[in-house]
A and B are shown apart, each in its own frame.
Chain A
Amino acid sequence: LIFLLSEAMASDVHKKIKAAFKAFDYEANNTVDVREIGTIVFSLGCFPSQADLHDFIAQVEEDHTGFIHLEKFLPVMTNVLLEKRFPPIPEDKLLQAFEVLDKEKKGYLEQEELTKYMMQEGEVFTQEEMDEMLTALTDQKDNVIYYKDVIDELIIDNDI
């Protein structure tokens, strides 16, 4: 019974993975560009670090061709999901993280503050990522980031 149950779960997971994969399979030949893998993995509800992602790609990439085939991707990704290898980070942690960066407890971050942290610390952003983040999160009027308000925006449900 347990075997059957896991079978059913695996088949559901397979469908989910295939749908996400297909969205980037422009040629409809079960292949995607390696640069899209991050998007696919994240969109399946995983939170890998950049190092995790590199390891993952190394596992599934076809001899450094820059392409990834579904047949290779599917089993590896299925295991990642079933084993919950890159578990989601709880939402309340996100608010705490912003509060840590807001040292003076102002309730908001200046654009420069956020830029400094995102571009110098941790898994640093590219300029493009930074620009997009600031456009998306900055309050139009006061030109600062009211992080409590924008967290709702970042936390989107799993239905696309």
Chain B
Amino acid sequence: MGCGTSAVATETQVKRVEEAEAMKAAVLIQRWYRRYMAHLEMRRRYTWNIFQSIEYAGEQDQLQLSSFFSFMLDNFTQLNGNGPDLISQLLDPVLDPWLGRETCFSCIPVPDSYTGPRLTFPLSVSDTNALLNAFKEQQTLHAKYLLQLLCETKKLLRQMPNIVHLSTSYTKDITICGDLHGRLDDLLLIFYKNGLPSAETPYVFNGDFVDRGKKSIEVVVLLFAYFLLYPDYMHLNRGNHEDHIMNLRYGFTKEVMQKYKTHGREILQLFQDVFSLLPLATVIDGKILIVHGGISDQTDLDFLNSVERHKVRGLVCFILRRRHCQLTHQDSAASCSSSSSSSSSSSTLCSPRSPSSLSPRPCPSSPSIHFTVNSLQVPFLDSLSSLSPPSPPQYEREWKQIVDILWSDPKNQDGCYPNTFRGGGCYFGPDVTQRLMLQHGLQLLIRSHECKQEGYELCHGGRVITIFSASNYYEEGSNRGAYIKMGKDLIPRFYQYQVGRGTRKLTLTQRVRVAESSALKALKEQLFTHRSELMAAFKEFDHNNTGCVSVSEWAQVLESVLRLDLPWRTLRPHLVRLTAEGAVEYESCFEDMGSGTQLAQVTPNLAETLFRYRTDIEIIFNIIDKDHSGLISIEEFRQTWRLFSAHLGVDINNQAIDDLARSIDFNKDGSIDFTEFLEAFRVVHKLDKYQHQSRMDSNTERL
């Protein structure tokens, strides 16, 4: 019996010991797991920082290109006569958006073989449904209907004020969406989760419908179709990407030209018109201000309401013009005389490009008048004509008001200063927000413009909300998308989502890994395109030509050459090899990459420049190539490239450029297929295949 009790006692004792052990084990596993998650989170942050700093670097490239155009203005006369007249070609599609182009689509035949949707205007629900279904099936809307849709949208937009006032009292909830950037899947997901636009479900879309994503046309067509169907329940704000020059860099122009080979140019012109007529802001119940970017210390909603918004077309031109102003003011006399001496330039500039153009003016005798003729539509050229007074203050003010609204970002520090990262707009602090709210009796500012990991973010003590609706913006798994719903109480409710392309849910580890590898790839491209600068800087530390520098020297070089704000030491293991002694073998950071095609005639220096500026060059070529045929003449190529390399201060001799031009004119017909040419200048990751293979292997192992 005593034996039995002691057995029971031991049993409970054993059990207690076991429980204590289990508890200890659990704690240990929990701690390990939390450490593991912390590492993942840290990697996610680094990845995010890489994407973001490279994105900002891209916006600075845009500025670089703008300054190239300024440079061209300054070197205007040299270009004239025999070379491509870039400036006039760049600005050629500038026509008054108030002009009708209604007839342009009526004569376009639709073949019987076309299986896509056939629209009838005014649009009905069956038309929008047909569009939704067609786009889900990857169909393309016929050019005729697209043009007609754009004309109708334009007509309707003309009647809209700059600031649209909405009221919650007529409806239940208003849904507010941020940047979509051509992500049709995100738009369809929002419609699926939240319902199609209707009187019951009104929407505000806060700009940046196009660019970057592959389905910009589909996104914008759906938005415009619902706008035509329910003008009272579908509201569209302009974003900084609803802009001709931005579209050249970030893909919308290309998408249109690829999808509409024959009518692309007309379509692009109409898009420009429509974009410039989009309202700038939406106000709900007089309390909630919705704009794409933000505000500045000079934002004045009453003044903004009075601006003729359609004049502000290419907003990047504004930045350019301002820079150009600064330049020309210094030697205004010189630039003035040089432009007046060249009569050919002015005649090219004022020649009417289209019969519907506003300017059936006689060819003026003084070139300065030519410029004024264009000054309304050609924002930065008027700086040449208006040397006295330097620039019309009223005009300048209108530009600034709109640019600030579309481009600004909030910051947590007080004050307001120019956004040098983006090259346009301002950073505005809580005090700026506070002031505007008091002035207009507002309680909340909703803006978009910046990608956020969770799809939305609050700042300025909850008075400013960022809403971003393109999920996986940087890379699969990089961020969620979100939208806001708001009822009579004006309290925002957030709804998050993420479009999943994969069939099964990826774990956080996998998501981080995918995003990380593509961020590192992008970063390595940056290294490669700055190869000679980096090598020169490394060599300065490497006096004895050992091929090695210390880790901190390496980090210092990367920071000073690339100017990306990144934790180089932490990223080091992914980018470069160490010797056994712990020194950096600096050449190893270029190892696993190379150019797509090796052109024997191209000097390394030229090749690198081509790599680095391939996007800029593509934009310039696209401007020269007026009919968007993808072909430009060899002479145009030479001229442009010479000018561009002169602007960059890259020393490339004419012979090298001629050789390059000749080598890419494969069929010797005197024209260059530059799409193919640029395709050759891409960084190729030699490890791609290998990496892919090893990832597949590890997956199979796990299964």
Is B569 in contact with A118, judged by CB distance below 8 angstroms?
A: no
Question: B550-578: contact bitstring with A at CB < 8 Å (1 yes, 0 no)?
Answer: 00000000000000010101110110000
Is A122 in contact with B30, judged by CB distance below 8 angstroms?
A: yes
Question: B13-38: contact bitstring with A at CB < 8 Å (1 yes, 0 no)?
Answer: 00000100111111111111111111
Is B31 in contact with A49, judged by CB distance below 8 angstroms?
A: yes
B23 nearest in chain A by CB position: A121
Is A29 in contact with B412, judged by CB distance below 8 angstroms?
A: yes
Whether A97 contacts B45 in the complex (CB less than 8 A), given A27-B413, A117-B22, comes out as no
Is A156 in contact with B39, judged by CB distance below 8 angstroms?
A: yes
Question: A12-26: contact bitstring with B at CB < 8 Å (1 yes, 0 no)?
Answer: 000100011011100
B136 at the A interface (CB under 8 A): no
Cross-chain contact of B38 among A38, A97, A118, A123 (Cβ < 8 A)? A38
Is A47 in contact with B31, judged by CB distance below 8 angstroms?
A: yes
* B interface: dominant SS: helix
A96 to B567, CA, bound (A): 36
Q: Which residues of A are found within 8 Å of B567, using beta-carbon distances?
A: 19, 22-23
Is B507 in contact with A23, judged by CB distance below 8 angstroms?
A: no
Whether A23 contacts B49 in the complex (CB less than 8 A), given A42-B34, A132-B37, comes out as yes
Is B34 in contact with A135, judged by CB distance below 8 angstroms?
A: no
B43 at the A interface (CB under 8 A): yes
Question: A37-62: contact bitstring with B at CB < 8 Å (1 yes, 0 no)?
Answer: 01111110001110000000000000
Is B29 in contact with A98, judged by CB distance below 8 angstroms?
A: yes
B136 → chain A closest CB, angstroms: 29
Is A43 in contact with B28, judged by CB distance below 8 angstroms?
A: no
Is B46 in contact with A42, judged by CB distance below 8 angstroms?
A: no
Is B29 in contact with A118, judged by CB distance below 8 angstroms?
A: yes
A122 to B571, CA, bound (A): 35
A158 nearest in chain B by CB position: B39
How many contacts A-B (CB < 8 Å)? 124
B219 → chain A closest CB, angstroms: 29
Q: Which residues of B are found within 8 Å of A15, using beta-carbon distances?
A: 569
A73 → chain B closest CB, angstroms: 16
Is A23 in contact with B42, judged by CB distance below 8 angstroms?
A: yes
Is A117 in contact with B411, judged by CB distance below 8 angstroms?
A: no
Whether A19 contacts B29 in the complex (CB less than 8 A), given A38-B34, A136-B509, comes out as no
Chain B interface, number of residues (Cβ within 8 angstroms): 43
A40 to B34, CA, bound (A): 11
A104 at the B interface (CB under 8 A): no
Cross-chain contact of B22 among A42, A100, A141, A153 (Cβ < 8 A)? A100
B508 nearest in chain A by CB position: A132
Is A39 in contact with B23, judged by CB distance below 8 angstroms?
A: no
A160 at the B interface (CB under 8 A): yes
Whether A160 contacts B22 in the complex (CB less than 8 A), given A29-B413, A49-B31, comes out as no
A117 to B29, CA, bound (A): 10
A150 to B235, CA, bound (A): 50
B696 at the A interface (CB under 8 A): no
B600 at the A interface (CB under 8 A): no
Q: Which residues of B are found within 8 Å of A100, using beta-carbon distances?
A: 21-22, 24-25
A135 to B337, CA, bound (A): 71
Is A89 in contact with B570, judged by CB distance below 8 angstroms?
A: no
A97 → chain B closest CB, angstroms: 4
B333 at the A interface (CB under 8 A): no
Question: B390-430: contact bitstring with A at CB < 8 Å (1 yes, 0 no)?
Answer: 00000000000000000000011100000000000000000
Whether A39 contacts B42 in the complex (CB less than 8 A), given A117-B22, A132-B508, comes out as yes
A159 to B565, CA, bound (A): 19
Q: Which residues of A are found within 8 Å of B21, using beta-carbon distances?
A: 100
- Besides the known contacts A47-B32, A132-B37, A160-B573, 6 further A-B residue pairs in the complex with CB atoms under 8 A apart: A97-B26, A117-B29, A123-B31, A135-B507, A140-B703, A154-B36
Closest 6 pairs (CB-CB, A-B): A42-B38, A122-B27, A97-B25, A121-B26, A100-B25, A122-B26
Q: Which residues of A contact B (CB under 8 A)?
A: 15, 19-20, 22-24, 27-29, 38-43, 47-49, 89, 93-94, 96-98, 100-101, 103, 117-118, 121-125, 129, 132-133, 135-136, 139-141, 149, 153-154, 156, 159-160
Sampled A-B contacts (12; CB under 8 Å): A23-B45, A27-B412, A40-B42, A43-B39, A43-B41, A47-B35, A97-B25, A100-B22, A101-B26, A129-B37, A136-B508, A159-B570
